[in-house]
Structure 1
Amino acid sequence: MILVTGATGTVGRLVTAGLAAAGRPVRAFTRDAARAGLGPGVEVAEGDLDRPESVRAALDGVDALFALTAGPDAPRHEALLAAELRRRPVRRVVKLSSVAADRPAAGSYGLAHATAERDFARTGAEWTALRAAGFMSNVLQWRGSVLAERAVHQTYGGVPRAVVDPADVAAAAVVCLTTAGHGGRVYRLTGPQALTAPQQAERLSALLGHPLRYVEAPRRAAFEAMTGGGLPPAFADGLLDALADPDPARGGTPLPTVQDLTGRPPGTFDAWLARHRAAFTAR
């Protein structure tokens, strides 16, 4: 049995579906089983990473884990998962991480991922880290301003990122969860082309058929928007530190990892945009 946390999110849902399609027993951990909508072949375990007893119940009979957590509570949640794994004969762990965890870790966000990787490595299970360069789906954050202003607002937009399709990350995770030879490995996952935010906005503008105004948002404005939306100040600062890092080795250089793992080339940003065009046109 393979347990997937974050199973109803962008990547977790695809991992769950991929495992089910491969005929692997999969258990999805979610807060609301009635609304999960994960389809046939998926066992659903209702619980919350803030409720250790529900985590323990979900781990019963599990021999592999896809660890996906998000937000300011992620360090505490991953520490809980790692602590529980040390008490159980779980054979394999794949953690969704970030290139921000590359040494030296980029701010508190990168350090949290690096710490969680070390915690999982000490569980005794075969562990694999998937360090994503950033997701193409992050541009969905532009939807509101694209619809309201025909504008894109971004901080540190001049830093090129070879952002990756979440579907490619999920496919890589399924491979690592179901085949041998990935223990102790750190895989950096990128898309096929490094683009700045203005270049991404140009691609979106071409798809929509009308101009989009690019606005480089000052860090302070981004910080205030993030904290105003409920993020703790330290977490917001950590995210911005990771965005600010210009090192091309930290997600700015396309790598062959997706093809090496999955046997197919990574999806392009244009292809991802075309599949999600309706998100930027429907009010």
Structure 2
Amino acid sequence: MILITGATGNIGSELVQQLSAQGAPLRIVTRDERKVSHLDARIERIIGNLGERATVQRAVQGVERLFMVTLLTGEGDTADPMLIEEARRAGVRHVVKVSSLGTSGNSRMGRQHREKERLIEESGMAWTFLRPGSFMSNALQWSGPIRAQGKVFTPTAEGRVAPIDPKDIAAVAAVALTSSGHEGHIYELTGPELLSAHDQVRILSGVLGRPIQCVDVPVTVAGENVRKSGAPEWMVEGLMELWTAIRSGNGGILKHDVQRVTGRPAHTFEQWCQEHRAAYS
């Protein structure tokens, strides 16, 4: 049995679809049963909150492999440590954890991801860490400004990253969860090309067939906008740190572990745009 957390998220939903197509025995945890009502009836559902021990204990019972993807919550997070502890007690053999490409650095968010990895390492369970960089799906945040103004606002200027399709992260996870030889491995996951926000907007504009203007804004302005949206201060500061690093040219990391693990190239940003063009209509 494979337990998938974050089953309704960008990565988890793709992973459920891929593993379900393979006929793998799956269990998912969700707070809202309506969000998974469309899934194959053979997929087991645990309805509850992974922040509650009783839910976690039911979820890990009889599980051999665990897929973990959790949101950072700042200091004092108890959900992940509890899940790791109960998984170990239940006899889970292998944990595949989504972490971050920034884990190898010294950023605020990178340090938080590394703390999660360390807990798994110390548990004694076998592990595989997936460290993706920027997600292509982050470009969905541009849909509102594009529809309203025909503009995208970016704090990263011409700084380049290699954004990855969440579907590719899920594909690597599916291999790690269903085959041997991935224990103790760290896979650094990026897309196949280094692109600035301006490059991405040009590609998206070409796919949509209409002009889109990419406007640079200061990191402080973007941070204040995130703060006004209600984001906690640790997140605002972490994002500003990340944007500054990219803007300064420190985000240009290109890896090929997607192809190495799955046997096929990672999707391009243009392919992702073609698949999601309806989101900008």
For 2:244, the equivalent position in structure 1 comes to 244
Tell me the CA shift for residue 50 of structure 1. 2.1
For 2:32, the equivalent position in structure 1 comes to 32
Q: Which runs of 5+ in 1 are unaligned?
A: none
How many residue pairs match? The answer is 279
Tell me the CA shift for residue 172 of structure 1. 0.2
For residues 52 and 228 of structure 1, the distance between their equivalents in structure 2, rounded to whole angstroms, comes to: 33
Tell me the CA shift for residue 247 of structure 1. 9.9
For 2:159, the equivalent position in structure 1 comes to 159
Conserved? CA contact 2:8–2:35, under 8 Å: no
Conserved? CA contact 1:128–1:176, under 8 Å: yes
Please tell me the residue identity of whatever aligns with 1:228: K
Q: Percent identity?
A: 38
Q: Which runs of 5+ in 2 are unaligned?
A: none
Tell me the CA shift for residue 263 of structure 1. 0.9
**Stretch moving more, 121-130 or 83-92:** 83-92
Please tell me the residue identity of whatever aligns with 1:69: T
Conserved? CA contact 1:99–1:132, under 8 Å: yes
Q: Per the alignment, in what secondary structure is the counterpart of residue 123 of structure 2?
A: coil
Please tell me the residue identity of whatever aligns with 2:97: K
For residues 38-77 of structure 1, the C-alpha deviation after alignment (integer angstroms, 9 at most, x for no partner) is 5213111111122221111111111111001124269432
Q: Per the alignment, in what secondary structure is the counterpart of residue 206 of structure 2?
A: helix
- Cα distance change on mapping 1:234 and 1:201 into 2, 3 Å: same
Conserved? CA contact 1:205–1:212, under 8 Å: yes
- Cα distance change on mapping 1:250 and 1:264 into 2, 3 Å: farther
For residues 229-255 of structure 1, the C-alpha deviation after alignment (integer angstroms, 9 at most, x for no partner) is 221111221122123324999752322
For residues 38 and 185 of structure 1, the distance between their equivalents in structure 2, rounded to whole angstroms, comes to: 34
Conserved? CA contact 2:96–2:173, under 8 Å: yes
User: Normalised by the size of structure 1, how large is the TM-score?
Assistant: 0.93
- Cα distance change on mapping 1:247 and 1:200 into 2, 3 Å: closer
Pair 1:94 & 2:83 matched: no
Cα RMSD over matched residues? 1.9
- Cα distance change on mapping 1:183 and 1:35 into 2, 3 Å: same
Q: Per the alignment, in what secondary structure is the counterpart of residue 28 of structure 1?
A: strand
For 2:52, the equivalent position in structure 1 comes to 51
For 2:106, the equivalent position in structure 1 comes to 105
For residues 157-178 of structure 1, the C-alpha deviation after alignment (integer angstroms, 9 at most, x for no partner) is 3221111111110000000111
For 1:207, the equivalent position in structure 2 comes to 207
**Stretch moving more, 244-253 or 36-45:** 244-253
For 2:185, the equivalent position in structure 1 comes to 185
Q: Per the alignment, in what secondary structure is the counterpart of residue 255 of structure 1?
A: coil
Equivalent positions of 1:163-178 (< 5 A) are: 163-178=163-178
- Cα distance change on mapping 1:114 and 1:213 into 2, 3 Å: same
For 1:134, the equivalent position in structure 2 comes to 134
**Stretch moving more, 198-207 or 214-223:** 214-223
**Stretch moving more, 65-74 or 140-149:** 65-74
- Cα distance change on mapping 1:250 and 1:32 into 2, 3 Å: farther
Conserved? CA contact 2:158–2:247, under 8 Å: no
For 2:83, the equivalent position in structure 1 comes to 81
Q: Per the alignment, in what secondary structure is the counterpart of residue 78 of structure 2?
A: helix
Conserved? CA contact 2:85–2:123, under 8 Å: yes
For residues 247 and 91 of structure 1, the distance between their equivalents in structure 2, rounded to whole angstroms, comes to: 41
Pair 1:265 & 2:265 matched: yes
Q: Per the alignment, in what secondary structure is the counterpart of residue 187 of structure 1?
A: strand
Conserved? CA contact 1:137–1:165, under 8 Å: yes
User: Normalised by the size of structure 2, how large is the TM-score?
Assistant: 0.93
For residues 249-270 of structure 1, the C-alpha deviation after alignment (integer angstroms, 9 at most, x for no partner) is 9752322210110111111100
For residues 90 and 271 of structure 1, the distance between their equivalents in structure 2, rounded to whole angstroms, comes to: 37
